[in-house]
Structure formats: structure tokens, C-alpha cells
Structure 1
Amino acid sequence: MFVRNERSIKEFMHLYPVVSWLIIIHLGLWLLTGFLQTPLGSFIENWGKGVNFYISQGEYWRLLTSIFLHAGLMHALFNSFALVLFGPALEQMLGKWKFIFAYVGAGLVGNIATFLLGPAIYAHVGASGAIYGLFGIYVFMVAFRKQLIDQSSSQIIMTIFIIGLVMTFLRPGINIYAHVFGFLGGFLLAPAVLTNARPYMPWLRSHHHDNRSIQFDPNRWQKKQRNKNMFKYSLWIILGILVVLGLFGRIF
């Protein structure tokens, strides 16, 4: 479910357009505001980042725009990496519009909580609340929609979620409100967006475009075993990356 097996970036973008555009927006805005440091980038950063004081003065758009801005390359890369791993399955299961609703909705819940509970001068950027909202949907599936998620994927989700939750409270400079309430937002939105959702089955994406009947694949069991092994390897790879990023960088 979380192992990417698309053959090219073009295929990935075709299958998961919302996730692809979110990543493009993340990295594009970082180029403008961080790397190139253009006047336009400075304007976007000052106009879009979440600042509780400005929000209290009526600049409510910052609750939304701050979701797409990031505080550095590692920040933008990690959130984009998380989207590549955990976004495609949900985009396929929910559909484009429900996925957008869930992602943005969870991000808004996290930012509203930051505004209501955080210090008046608190400033924040990042997609942390939205991404934790995706975890909220997955955890809801693990608890109440087991038919939508396989056991290996459930183990991966719960392991990474627990690690992320622990790091939320251990690492300095993290927007705890966005993480916790973004997760709760996704969890609460899950019953609505999972209506009519089907299990993620990427192996059904391949279609024959001729009139020949579908052929029996004698290697299907070997492929299934390879996929199981890939799940095991991917779990440790993901955990290793998370630990390294958590120890040596500000990941959110």
C-alpha cells in the first residue's frame, strides 16, 4: 500500500495528480521563498505564513496559506516525502475532491487550534497538520474500517504514527497543536470521506487495450511474495529515514 511501484514520474503524476501538485506547490514555494529569495517570494512568505497576531486582526487567509509554505528545504522535502508515501493510496481510495477536502480540512483544524491555543505572537508554516490528518484517516481505518487496509499497512501506519507522536513532544520547535489537532481533524473527517471508499488495489490499474482476453500469469504468486518482502524492507527504510531526520534536523 505504501511501496511505490510506478514506472516513471509521468505515471505517478497521471495516477495521483493531487499529490503531485501538492508536492510541486511545496517545492515551488520553497524555491521562491527560500532558495531564490526573490521579492515575490518575500511577499508570499510575509503574506502567507501563519502569525496568530495577524490572524486575530482579521487576516484569516493565513490559516489556509500557511499549510503550503515551509521553513526550509528539509521541512519541505520531508513533508513532500511523507505525501509520496502516504498520499497516493488515499487519493485513489477517496477520489480527488474528497482527498483535497480531507487534506485541507485537517490542515485548517490544526491551524485553527494553533491560533486558539498558541501564543499571540506565534508564527508557523508547514503541511504538518494536513499530513497528520492523513494519519488520522489511516488510524480510523485500522480501528473501524479494517476491510480497507491490509495488516502490513496497518502495522506500518501505527508504528510510524507512534514514533511521530513521540517526536512531536520531544523535539523543540514543533507545532504540537498542528500535529495533534490535525490528526484529530483527519480522524473525525474519516467517516465522511471514507463513504463508498474501496481498498487500494494498484495491481488492478493495468488494463489491456486490445480485444484479447486477460491471460493467466503463472508468476503471480512469486510477485505476491516479492511484494510482501518489499513491505518489510520499506518499513525499516521508512523508520530509518524518520529517525535520522528526527535526530539531525527539524522535520516539521
Structure 2
Amino acid sequence: MNHVHTSLDRLLFNLVRRRSKMFIRNESFYSFRKNYPVITVLVAIHVILFLWINLFPFGDVILDRGVGSNIHVALAGEYWRLLTPIFLHYTLMHMVFNSFSLIIFGPAVEKILGTGKFISIYLLAGVLANVATLLLGDMYTRHLGASGAIFGIFGVLAYMIWARRDLIDRANSQLVVTIIIISLVMTFVNPNINILAHLFGFIAGLALAPLFLMGAKPFVQRSHQRPVHDQEVPSFNPDRWANHEKKKQKKKIIWITVGIIAVILIGIRMFG
């Protein structure tokens, strides 16, 4: 499963890097956080809960009470389990893959829809995907992950291609179609995937898109990011720019170190 996620991760990155300006991410962390607050918060929740359930006290309780469980919803009325699985991931690759997908494909949709509409359709698609799993899946099915909600975002993008071509250009349309096809194929290839959540998350996004996209404007017109300047012609004092670059490199080293330590600790906890 991890190998499949890693291979698909690289494939998605290469497709985006080569063919799209709408989905490529070249902002600083500060700029990304400012322009896409919902996605920033969602990814932070992914990371925090993943670390908590794997490393910290009561993590097993959070996992047990938050995981999607059809039998607990149907027989015990624990309806919060239709929502909480959207934020939980048990394996590192599952969390990284879903967070990566959200960071790549979510910003354009968040900017087009606006903060309120984006979080609403994201959560609705995820919940409806889990409802489909409850109604059509095995009674003893247990599931978790943001995939259903992310497929809801794919559904919104698919609707743009189909009925709102003013919101997405041809090159990005081709990229989205390619990604959706690959994702759907991988849904059926990997035996550990919640097929119902993927399919009905996508259908939910597709069905909700006409309502949520009313009055929407193209991504380019609503983007308030500062233009990217050619680094060879700096608009600031050269020394100040150099110092800024050094600070960025130091921050990268710190975050990479923290990430390596976290992975080691998780490995010790899970396999030690």
C-alpha cells in the first residue's frame, strides 16, 4: 500500500509540475497560510492527529472513538463517526498522500469558492462518502482518511470542466481529467481502498458543485498573491535578499530535522 501511494505521489507531482500553473505551488509557507487558510488548518489537523494517535497518551482512545465504524453508527447511534474519520490517518504514507493531494488540488478550489463554501462542500462530500459506506458497505467495516472529501474536490473540478469552462482553462482541464482517471483506476487496483468513499465522495462533489459555484469567478481573477519576481533582478537590497534566503534555508533544515525525528519516533513506536 505504501509503495502504491509513493508511486502515485510521484506521478501526480510530475504531471502537475510539467503541465499546470493553476496547481503548482511555489508560495512561501506564510503566503500559502494567508491565501489558503482552510487547507492550512486541515493539513495541520491531519499532522497533529496522526502524531497524537501514534506517539502521545490517549492516542489509541482518539483512534478508537474517531474511526469510522458502521456497526457503531447503526447500532449505537454514534453519528459523529460519519465526520471524524475525515481527519484521521493511521499510517504515515496515507496521511502524507492525502495532505499532498489537498495542498496541490485544493487551493484553486478554495480561492474560487471562498472559505465558507470550500469547507462546507469538503465536509459534506466527506460525510456523504461515509454515509454511502454505512448504507452500502459491510456492517463490520472500519475506515478512516480524508480521501472521500478530497474526491469531492475532484468532483467539483470535474463539474467545472463539464459545465463551467469559464473557471478552468484547457491545459488544466486535461490535467484534472488525467488525475481523476488515474485516481479512479488506483481506487480499484488497491485492495485496501474504501471504494465506496472514493466513488460517492466524487459523486457528492459533482452533485453539489452547481449550487456552490453559483457566482464563482476564475481562479486567476480572485488570486491576491504578490507577483513572483525574477531572483536575478531583485527588487530589494541584495544583502537583505541574501539574508532572507539564508533564513529560509535554516527553516527548511529545522523542519526536515523535525520531520526525520518524528518519523524515527513513529517507527520506534509502531515497530519497536
1:50 to 2:68 alignment = yes
Code of the residue aligned with 1:132 in structure 2: it is F
| CA shift for structure 1 position 20 | 0.3
How many residues are paired up?
206
Distance change in 2, residues 1:28/1:206 (3 Å): closer
Aligned to 2:203: 184
Q: Distance in 1 between matches of 2:225 and 2:159?
A: 29
Aligned to 2:215: 196
Code of the residue aligned with 2:24 in structure 1: it is V
| CA shift for structure 1 position 5 | 2.4
Distance change in 2, residues 1:171/1:93 (3 Å): same
Distance change in 2, residues 1:42/1:141 (3 Å): same
Q: Distance in 2 between matches of 1:202 and 1:26?
A: 30
Aligned to 1:23: 43
| CA shift for structure 1 position 43 | 1.3
| CA shift for structure 1 position 170 | 1.2
8 Å CA contact 2:39–2:106 kept in 1: the answer is: yes
Q: Distance in 1 between matches of 2:196 and 2:225?
A: 42
Alpha-carbon RMSD? 1.7
| CA shift for structure 1 position 30 | 0.3
Q: Unmatched 5+ residue regions in structure 2?
A: 1-21, 228-272
Q: Unmatched 5+ residue regions in structure 1?
A: 209-252
Code of the residue aligned with 1:26 in structure 2: it is H
1:167 to 2:186 alignment = yes
8 Å CA contact 2:31–2:225 kept in 1: the answer is: no
1:93-172 aligned at under 5 Å gives the runs 93-172=112-191
For the residue of structure 2 that corresponds to 1:3, the secondary structure is: coil
Q: Distance in 2 between matches of 1:136 and 1:115?
A: 21
Q: Distance in 2 between matches of 1:162 and 1:207?
A: 33
For the residue of structure 2 that corresponds to 1:147, the secondary structure is: coil
Code of the residue aligned with 1:141 in structure 2: it is M
| CA shift for structure 1 position 108 | 0.6
Runs of 4+ in 1 over 3 A off after TM superposition: none
The alignment's TM-score, normalised by the length of structure 1, stands at 0.79
8 Å CA contact 2:111–2:223 kept in 1: the answer is: no
Code of the residue aligned with 2:72 in structure 1: it is Y
Aligned to 2:230: none
8 Å CA contact 2:111–2:222 kept in 1: the answer is: no
